[in-house]
Structure 1
């Protein structure tokens, strides 16, 4: 069903009553109710989240749904793509924020572009732009850069109909407990859309960022208790992406992007070490520790690309090796 409004703000939430209600109140304070829809899906929260959301039941442009069981992020994401009645949707985490000026710029720009996905700028907790997100001017996104501009997909803009190219495949992977589909369904959704010749663009619009209160503690984990940035999830994501690229090479042999996809697949196959490196790095940032990443990075090939890192870890490596000679 079509809607004269252009954009729906989609907010999945779970056990974050205060955060999600504050976010909705902020969006309503923008006084853009005639331009945007707000769609909230409570993923069967065990607290009073759904009850708190009932205060918006009389607001015409706010729709609130509650899953009848906990579907987790990926299936909830598929649900709001199908519930969306506007041409485009913007996904927002319940602990992030959007900027009114950014929304106004977006409402002005979208009708001028024929796009299926738009990567906007996003603010990290330290006030800097999130790496890879957005660009200094409106420009095309390559398949190689696709994961970089969408890995943190919050604040990105999707044409709602884009889901038709990947929904069945994502559900099939979810049924097989695929970590890639569970934690990063946008990797699958966007790659399959691009292989179907849809249009992907980045732009300079600053749409929002992480909340000034800081990100809420993550309640995002799979059925085995593995969290979003855990080492196990990183390893399983590596395996999932490896299989996904192989599937896409088999499914799209005639694609104009086939050669680029082949190179991307080969590069990914060599990236296991770096995937573990990144997982430990993110874990230390989140936990405020310095457990294993320093030791691991002593042997990382990435050091050769950065002379300062190379010297730092080379001396650490040599010191450790020389010290072992004392006991030979």
Structure 2
């Protein structure tokens, strides 16, 4: 497979990733899809990451290395990397994973006319040992017209994504306090242009130092903020916007009352879609609906 295949850009952002970045870069360079451009942006690392990156870029002409003069943060750095990618197709990489050698090939074979395709990932620990779990162990995947499924929970991780650059034109930027991959997935879902394959194409390292490992947020105030972002998204269709407003009205009722019957009814009637993505028991879902419907 050579340059007769479409160019694929890989957006890789780094920050203090000296522990695992070399292993990740080797797995990317060993992809069986050879027509690759690798765009790496380091967000002002203060460990040995930059030296490792320079050693790889010096030996590989398809690596474009950019070093930020100041730390601009996770979301802004990924947006910068994505915008610097020159190919129509862009894959996203985390600094501490390991890619299966046919990852790009499988995604390119299956993206079709979608704006975004994603896949399952096998989890490994900080030592690189398998945990015998994957994303599908605790999430259900969605595709097509599935924006409603993504209002409360996300099943699309950036490191699993291949997108068409066209998707970036549908959103001016990434919200500051929101995951960029969730935002991209929701945007594609609003156009019914999202799909998945169940291949495990990445060994995804789960550890406390990762950005997702640090996140423990599941607060009601955060969910309300997310709903407002979705409501104001330029791609949200009117029927979904009306539904989001119904949810927000229910939460607003909690400013006046201890219990919101409006929110309780809305969540109960729509639990199959709103809570489909996160695998949990019916008992757990009922408890969640009750907690959401109470002011405290």
What TM-score does the superposition give when structure 2 sets the normalisation length? 0.69
Higher Cα radius of gyration = 1
Specify which structure has the higher proportion of helix.
1
Residue 73 of structure 1, CA deviation: 0.8
Counterpart position of 1:53 = 53
Aligned counterparts of 2:135 and 2:204: Cα–Cα separation in 1: 10
Aligned counterparts of 2:280 and 2:201: Cα–Cα separation in 1: 34
Unaligned runs of 5+ in 1: 222-226, 272-301, 311-328
Counterpart position of 2:119 = 120
Residue 141 of structure 1, CA deviation: 4.8
Residue number among 232, 236, 240 corresponding to 1:260 in the alignment: 240
- State how many pairs are aligned: 247
Residue 236 of structure 1, CA deviation: 5.3
Residue number among 225, 229, 246 corresponding to 2:215 in the alignment: 229
Unaligned runs of 5+ in 2: 125-130, 252-278, 288-296
Aligned counterparts of 1:305 and 1:31: Cα–Cα separation in 2: 43
Deviations along 1:223-272, one digit per CA (max 9) or x if unpaired, are xxxx95244x7455324213213324xx56xx6x422343355457779x
Aligned counterparts of 1:304 and 1:9: Cα–Cα separation in 2: 37
Aligned counterparts of 1:204 and 1:304: Cα–Cα separation in 2: 23
Secondary structure at the residue paired with 1:123?
strand
Q: How does 1:1-328 map to 2 (within 5 A)?
A: 5-30=6-31, 32=33, 34-57=34-57, 58-110=59-111, 113-125=112-124, 126-131=131-136, 132=139, 134=141, 140-146=144-150, 148=153, 150-168=155-173, 170=174, 173-174=175-176, 179-180=177-178, 184-195=179-190, 197=191, 199-211=193-205, 214-215=206-207, 217-218=209-210, 220=211, 228-231=214-217, 234=219, 237-248=222-233, 257-264=237-244, 266-267=246-247, 305-306=282-283
1:246 to 1:97, Cα distance in 2 relative to 1, 3 A: same
Question: Which structure carries more relative contact order (alpha carbon 8 Å, separation 6+)?
Answer: 2
Aligned counterparts of 2:85 and 2:281: Cα–Cα separation in 1: 47
Aligned counterparts of 1:16 and 1:242: Cα–Cα separation in 2: 33
Residue 155 of structure 1, CA deviation: 1.1
User: Does structure 1 retain, via aligned residues, the 8 Å contact 2:107–2:117?
Assistant: no
Residue 79 of structure 1, CA deviation: 0.6
1:267 to 1:127, Cα distance in 2 relative to 1, 3 A: farther
Secondary structure at the residue paired with 2:46?
coil
User: Does structure 1 retain, via aligned residues, the 8 Å contact 2:118–2:196?
Assistant: yes
Aligned counterparts of 2:54 and 2:280: Cα–Cα separation in 1: 53
Aligned counterparts of 2:280 and 2:32: Cα–Cα separation in 1: 50
Aligned counterparts of 1:305 and 1:107: Cα–Cα separation in 2: 37
What TM-score does the superposition give when structure 1 sets the normalisation length? 0.63
Secondary structure at the residue paired with 2:163?
strand
Aligned counterparts of 1:202 and 1:269: Cα–Cα separation in 2: 33
Secondary structure at the residue paired with 2:110?
helix
